[in-house]
Amino acid sequence: MKAVFALVAAVVAAAASGCATQSPPASPTGRSAEAGTPARPIPPTAPAARPAPLARTDATDAEGPLPDVDLSPQLLFQLLAADLAAQRGEVGSAWSTYMAVARQTRDPRVARRATEIAVGARALDEAVQSAQLWRELAPQSRPAAQMLETLWLGAGRLKEVEPVLAERLARARAEGSLPAAYTQLQRSLQRVQDRAGTWQMIQRLSAPDLGVAAARLARAQFAAGAEDFAASAAEAHEAMRLAPDDEEAVVAAARATHRLPDRKQEALDMLERFLQRQPMALEARYAYARLLLSDGRAGEARAQLERALAQQPGSPAVLFSLAQLSYQGKQPDEARRYLQRYVDLPRSVPRDNAPALLFIAQIEEEAGRLDAAIDALSKVPRGDEFVPATIRRALLMGKQGKVEAAREVLRDAPVVTQRERVQLLSGESQLLREARRNQDAFDVLDKALERMPDQPDLLYDHAMAAERIDRLPVMEKSLRRLIALRPDHAHAYNALGYTFADRNIRLDEARTLIEKALQLSPDDAHILDSMGWVLFRQKDYPKALEVLRKAYAKRPEVEIAAHLGEVLWAMDRRDEARALWREARGREPENTTLRETLARLNVAL
C-alpha cells in the first residue's frame, strides 16, 4: 500500500522540537488539538526510476482506509514549504498548503494537520473548514468528529452540531451510559455563548430522558445559563426527586432554589436537612457554606467550612475557600496559612497548586514583600498559569530594578508552543516599557516580527510600541496588517482610530474606524471612550459627554475620567470636572493621562 502517511513525517518531527505541531492551551473552544499521528521517517534513498512509495504498507490506520498515493517531489516540496511556514509563524500559508495537499491526496491526516495549525492560531473559520474536510475523509474517525463538534460549538453553530449530539445521546441510551453522556454534554456546551439557544437545544435533545436525573441536572444547568432561573430550579428539583440521596442533585437543587428571590432560606434548609442525614457529605457542606457566605452570614459559613476541614483536613477545595474567606475578611496572613497548607498537601492529593501559589504571590505583593511574591511565582508548575506567572515574576523583578535578570527569566522559560513564546515576548516588551525603555521594547517586538510577520498578538503589541516612540507610520502599517488578517479584531480598529483622534488628525477616518470597532464590540468601555474622544475632537460636546458617561459607568477608570472631565471643562462645567478629576486622582495620584490633562489645561485641584 502506498499511502501519504509519511507526508506528515516532517511535521511530526518538527512537533517533537515544538516548532510545527503545537498543542495550544487555549483554542477557540478552549480545547487543545489532538497530537499528530506518529509516522516513520521517509526512507533516505529511493529507486532512481520513480519516487519512493511512502513508508506505511498497511491499508488503514486510526483514521480509517488510506489513499494510494506516491510521495512525489512536488508533494514533498509542498510539505516542507508548509512546515517551514508553520515554523516562521506564517500560519495562513501553512494552512493553505496543508489543505491543498489534503484535497489532492485525500489523506485525512493531512487535513487533521491543517486543522491543528488553524486551531493553534485561533483561526476558527479555517479550523472549521479543515475539520470538515478531515471528517469527510475519515467519516469513522472519533477524533475528527470530536474536533468538528468542538469547533462548531466554539463558533456557536448549534444547528450543525445538534444532530451530532443527538447521535451521541442515542448511542449512550443503547449502551446504558446516559449519566456519563450528559456529564460530557454539559462540559462540551458550557462555553457556547448562545445561552438561550443552548437551553432550547438541550430541551429537544433530552426530551426522551426526563426520567433520568442526569438529564434533569443538565437541563437545570442550561436553564440557569439562559437566566430562566425558575425553570432551572424546577429541573433541579425533579433531579432531586428522582435521586433523593444523590449529593449532586441536592446541591444543584439548593443552588438553583437559592437564586430565586424569596426562596433563599428554603435552599439553606434543604442542605441542612440533607447534611443531617449525611453529615459526611463534603460537597453539600461546602455548598452550604458558600450559600451562607453569599447571604452575608460569614460567621456561619466559616463554621461550616471549619467543620468540613475537620472531616477532611486534606481537602483542597475547603482550604482554598477558607483562604478566600479570610482574605475577604481582611486577614491576609491567615489566608496565607491556609494556602500554604494547600500547597503542602501530599502529592497523592489531586489538585492544581497554581491558583494557590498565585494567591500567595498576590498577598505577598500587596504586603510589599516582593521577594516572597517572586518566590511563589517561581514555583507555579507547567500548565495554563505558568507563562502568566513567569511574566508577573519578571515584572516584579523589574520593579526591583533587576531588569536584565528579569529578561533572562523570560528568555530561559521552558515553553514549547508559539503562543507561549509570543506571550513571553510581549511580557519582555512590557517589562522594558515599565522601565521606561520604550525603544528597547519596540526593538524586541520588531525583531520578533521578522520571524513571525503575521502573528496577530505581536502585530498589535508592535503597533502600540511604535506609537510610544512616535513612529506613527509603523504603527499604522502593523494595525492595517492585523486588520487584513483579522477583520474582526475590534481593538485594532480602535487603537488606530484613537491614535488619530488623540493627535487630532484624520478625524473622519478615526471616527469610521472606531464606529467599526463598536459594531464588533458594542459594550466595550475602552472603545466607547475612544468614540467619546473623537466626538470631542469634532466638537460635538453633548454627544461626547453622553458616550463618555456611558463608558465611565461601565469602567470607572482614571483615563476615562480624564477624558470625561475635559469634555465637562470644555462645556464650562468646571466644578463637575474638578470634582471628577479630584476623585480620580485620589485613586491613582501618578496616573500619566490625568497628570498630562491637568498640566495642559493648567488646572490646580
The closest alpha carbon to 123, from 87, 96, 157, belongs to 96
pLDDT averaged over every residue in the chain: 85
Phi, psi (degrees; rounded to nearest 5) at 459: -60, -45
Cell numbers for 546? 453622553
The residue-averaged pLDDT of 521-549 equals 96
The closest alpha carbon to 434, from 472, 471, 391, belongs to 391
Q: Identify the pLDDT of residue 349.
A: 93
The residue-averaged pLDDT of 351-376 equals 96
Residue with the bigger pLDDT between 266 and 85: it is 266
Rounded Cα distance, 212 and 242, in Å: 7
**Angle formed by the axes of helices 91-105 and 108-120, nearest 10°:** 160
- 497-515 per-position pLDDT tens digit: 999 999 999 999 999 999 9
- 135-185 per-position pLDDT tens digit: 888 888 888 887 887 888 777 778 888 888 898 899 899 999 999 999 988
Cell numbers for 400? 526591583
Cell numbers for 380? 507555579
Calculate what percentage of the chain has a pLDDT beyond 70: 89
Q: Identify the pLDDT of residue 253.
A: 93
Output DSSP code: residue 44: S
The residue-averaged pLDDT of 68-86 equals 78
The closest alpha carbon to 580, from 549, 602, 534, belongs to 549
pLDDT tier, 42 (very low <50, low <70, confident <90, very high otherwise): very low
pLDDT of 289 above 80: yes
Question: Which residue(s) pair with 53 in the sheet?
Answer: 70
pLDDT of 432 above 80: yes
Calculate what percentage of the chain has a pLDDT beyond 90: 61
- Is residue 516 within 8 A of residue 534, CB to CB? The reply is no
Q: Identify the pLDDT of residue 62.
A: 57
E strand or H helix that includes residue 60:
strand 60-61
pLDDT of 48 above 50: no
Q: Identify the pLDDT of residue 63.
A: 61
Kindly provide the b/e burial profile for residues 52-84, where b requires at least 16 CB atoms within 10 angstroms of the residue's own CB. bbbbbeeeebebeebeebebeeebbebbeebbb
Rounded Cα distance, 354 and 233, in Å: 34
Q: Is 61 helix (H, G, I), strand (E, B) or coil?
A: strand
The residue-averaged pLDDT of 536-564 equals 97
pLDDT of 526 above 70: yes
pLDDT tier, 518 (very low <50, low <70, confident <90, very high otherwise): very high
The residue-averaged pLDDT of 89-117 equals 86
Q: Identify the pLDDT of residue 537.
A: 97
Question: Which residues, other chains included, contact 20 with Cβ-Cβ below 8 Å and sequence gap of 6+?
Answer: 10, 11, 14, 83, 86, 87
Cell numbers for 219? 437541563
Question: Which residues, other chains included, contact 490 with Cβ-Cβ below 8 Å and sequence gap of 6+?
Answer: 516, 517, 518, 520, 521, 524, 527
The closest alpha carbon to 30, from 194, 146, 191, 164, belongs to 191
Q: Give the CA distances from residue 254 to residues 236, 271, 273, 564, in Å, rounded to whole numbers and listed in that order.
A: 8, 7, 11, 45
pLDDT of 128 above 50: yes
- 389-416 per-position pLDDT tens digit: 999 999 999 999 999 999 999 999 998 8
Q: Identify the pLDDT of residue 32.
A: 32
pLDDT of 5 above 50: no
Rounded Cα distance, 86 and 240, in Å: 52
pLDDT of 87 above 50: yes
Q: Give the CA distances from residue 537 to residues 221, 468, 575, in Å, rounded to whole numbers and listed in that order.
A: 48, 21, 22
Q: Identify the pLDDT of residue 342.
A: 96
Q: Identify the pLDDT of residue 29.
A: 28
Q: Where are the alpha helices (DSSP H) in 521-601?
A: 525-537, 541-554, 558-570, 574-587, 592-601
Model pTM score: 0.64
Cell numbers for 314? 486534606
CATH number for 488-605 (one of 3.90.550.10, 1.25.40.10, 3.40.50.300, 1.10.3720.10): it is: 1.25.40.10
pLDDT of 287 above 60: yes
- 243-285 per-position pLDDT tens digit: 999 999 999 999 999 999 889 999 999 999 999 999 988 889 9
DSSP codes, 520-538: H-TT-HHHHHHHHHHHHHT
Rounded Cα distance, 596 and 580, in Å: 15
Q: Identify the pLDDT of residue 39.
A: 28
The residue-averaged pLDDT of 18-46 equals 30
Rounded Cα distance, 23 and 420, in Å: 11
Q: Identify the pLDDT of residue 64.
A: 63
pLDDT of 122 above 60: yes
Separation of CA 578 from chain center = 39
Q: Identify the pLDDT of residue 8.
A: 36
Ranking 10-19, 454-463, 487-496 by mean pLDDT, the lowest is: 10-19
Q: Is 312 helix (H, G, I), strand (E, B) or coil?
A: coil
Rounded Cα distance, 369 and 251, in Å: 40
What fold is seen in the domain 156-278? 1.25.40
**Angle formed by the axes of helices 213-225 and 247-258, nearest 10°:** 30
Ranking 86-95, 327-336, 381-390, 583-592 by mean pLDDT, the lowest is: 86-95
| Domains of the chain by residue range | 5-144, 156-278, 488-605
Question: Which residues, other chains included, contact 599 with Cβ-Cβ below 8 Å and sequence gap of 6+?
Answer: none
Strands 60-61 and 64-65: antiparallel
Rounded Cα distance, 153 and 138, in Å: 20
